Structure 1
Amino acid sequence: MVRKATLAVAASVGIGVLPVAADTIEIHNTMSTGGSEEAALQKFQELIEEKLGDDFEVNIYLNSQLGSEAEVLELLNIGQTQMALTGGAFMGQYAPEYNAVSVPFVLPSWGAVEHYIMETESGKKMQEIAREKGNLVYLGPQKRAFRHMTANKPINTPDDLEGLPMRMPQIPLWIDVWEELGIQAVVIPSSDIYLAMRTGQVEAHENSLASPYTRQMWEVQDYIIETSHLSFPWHWVASAPWWDGLTDEQRTAISEAAEEARQHGTQVENEKDEFYREALIEKGMEFIQVDQAPFREKAAPAIERAMADMADTVQADIEASIEAASE
């Protein structure tokens, strides 16, 4: 937090911020310790020490130590920090016309998500715009487990959602899609989810399996409905002003380390997701597998609204990504 305070003081008195030492790579993430995010960053740290130990020291900052996601994006933009494992806010901020990754019920598997970002014209355009507008060098996505529903009653079809009070984050796109499905959206902070369920303010929520596990939701919810409606990945990015000052050898080594680290983080995320599943079953929660097609069909008007302003290449690239992932 010292660095954050220094930035605030510098801004308030109108002076420049002292640059970070050239041999330091600061890398940031908003999550706390113990997750796949930390595992990936530690792997990156080990790999850089092996590849470029004489050139760089990697300092890991978790739990928003350097600021919020938006604040760190600004630090990257102006070259005052070097790297981040960041969420998807920059895609909506810089390239919303290509941001199909953030639309629920569109990309049904991690393979499709990864292919869309890394292999399609739309994904590559999104990366280009992020560099042009945000000074971000894109190095690759890292999996966050797919999101599902929890509920205090069985959900088998979209009809079972009608009028269901469901906790939603303050993301208008997501709210629109779920309200199209029939739920009554209730926006409350994540810290209040358990209490809201215990008091009956809400009867359902959506998130990855880490949420019901860490919040001990088996005490207030009975069912997990495997909607698999969204994977909202992490993204490895670097500051372009810093990146452009590196040698070709350094850029290659850092790119290779980030690639191996993101794959390691994805593997750890898969392992943790399976652990949560088994633990929740042991705690008595019942998993319900649903056919996603009727949910996607009912949500279609909201999905079409979300896609209406997107670039012409997006729909074809979504279809190509789904096909590539199924091969």
Structure 2
Amino acid sequence: MKFIRIFMLSIIAILSLTVIYIFIFEGDIVDSEEEVTIRFAHGQPETNERHLAVIHFKELVEDQSDMNVRIYPNEQLGSEAEMIESVTLNDLQMVAASAFSQYNPNISIFELPYLFDSYEEAWKVLDGEVGQEVAEPLLEDNLRIIAYFENGMRHVTANKKIEEPEDFNGLSIRTPEFPISLATFQALGANPTPMAFGELYMALQQGTVDAQENPMANTYTSRFQEVQEYLNKTSHQYMPLPVAISDDFWNSLSSEQQDIVETSAQEAAQYHRNLIVESEEQIEEELIKEGMEIVEMDTEPFREQIESVHQDYRDIYGDELLDKILEELDSE
């Protein structure tokens, strides 16, 4: 019995040493080969151009490195505000969203109504000095903007035609919870009602709100044509889609990895922009086929109606930043 007991203790000791060896040495191997995973979230369905652009980013990154990109579309990880907050906390690595004004209101300056007359004008400003200037303060909240995806020109859908500013009087319209969006529709005489994008279809279907405003691609892929009769081409607002990465996560990457992530995001941004522009004509045709009427209009009366919004926000942003944008636009 004594021999058996000594033998069993010896076996246990050998096994313990083996486990310690594996833990120390094999653990080092696992750590040295640990792959970087980038969790990238956004708020649109998988049929939307935004998701296609994020897939393009994933392909670019994974083709050039050992990093993995996991995509979470359709508000799977919460609303835009919640996803951005997750990035600030370093619980999520990347997000493509619009709700950054809660961290720095200056980034919303691009959303002033009727600021840009074309996509090209907007891209020039976003990719230039002003785009960098408004992004820099977000670093204080662990948000590093590395590209501007496309959100598109926004138009109003409703069950009535919008042909002149008076048509907005009393209209209950869902908007994002952005101060400029609220101020714009208040200036037009509407009743703006903020709510999460994921709740919007049901709200339109049930008549909780009468109208909504979004880029054409978002309207189409979210099937709002099923519950709205008219797409009114107000072109009232351009809204970029900043892509943010956790700055803590960014600083954990090697310089080579940082370069791959940033250049891939910027290439995916232009890919997204091109997709939006190229698809809008086709989307219009599809909306018409599905029974929606497209309403063209003279936007000049609407521009005059919202001049007060520009003046109010000059007081917020200061003259310098807005004048810098206008100078860039005039330099063409």
Q: TM-score range with shorter-chain normalisation?
A: 0.7 to 0.9
Structure 1 gaps, min length 5: 1-20
**Does the alignment pair 1:23 with 2:36?**
yes
Which of 24, 32, 35 is 2:48 aligned to?
A: 35
1:283-307 per-residue CA deviation (whole Å, 9 max, x = no partner) reads 3333222222221111111332233
Tell me which amino acid in the other structure corresponds to 1:102. Answer: E
TM-score, normalised via structure 1 length: 0.78
Q: Which has the higher contact order (CA 8 A, sep 6+)?
A: 1
Q: Choose the corresponding residue for 1:127, options 121, 130, 135.
A: 135
Q: Is the 8 A contact 2:157 2:230 kept in 1?
A: yes
CA RMSD of aligned residues (A): 2.9
User: Residue 290 of structure 1 corresponds to which residue in structure 2?
Assistant: 297
The code of the aligned residue for 2:74 comes to: N
Alignment-mate amino acid for residue 111 of structure 2: S
What does the per-residue CA deviation read over 1:108-162, in whole Å, with 9 as the maximum and x for residues that have no partner?
A: 3322332333213x4322111011x212222110111211122334332223333
Percent sequence identity is 30
Residue 74 of structure 2 corresponds to residue 93 of structure 1: no
Give the Cα separation in 1 of the matches to 2:79 and 2:203: 26
CA offsets 1:35-61 (integer angstroms, 9 cap, x no match): 2222112212211222113xx222222
Corresponding residue number in structure 2 for 1:104: 113
Residue in structure 1 matched with residue 158 of structure 2 by the alignment: 151
The equivalent residue for 1:4 is none
Structure 2 length normalisation: TM-score?
0.77
Code of the aligned partner of 2:136: E
Partner Cα separation in structure 1 for residue 256 and residue 229 of structure 2: 54
SS of 1:146's equivalent? strand
1:11 aligned partner: none
Structure 2 CA distance for partners of 1:47 and 1:294, relative to 1, 3 Å: same
Counting matched residue pairs gives 299
Give the match for residue 261 of structure 1.
268
- Report how far residue 244 of structure 1 moved: 1.9
| CA deviation map 1:216-272 (0-9, x unaligned) | 555654432211112322222222222223222222222221111122222223344
Q: Secondary structure at the match of 2:239?
A: coil
Measure the CA separation in 1 of the matches of 2:326 and 2:283.
31
In structure 2, distance between residues paired with 1:253 and 1:192: 36
User: Which of 72, 97, 103 is residue 61 of structure 1 equivalent to?
Assistant: 72
User: Gapped runs of 5+ residues in structure 2?
Assistant: 1-33
Q: If you compute each CA radius of gyration, which structure gives the higher value, 1 or 2?
A: 2
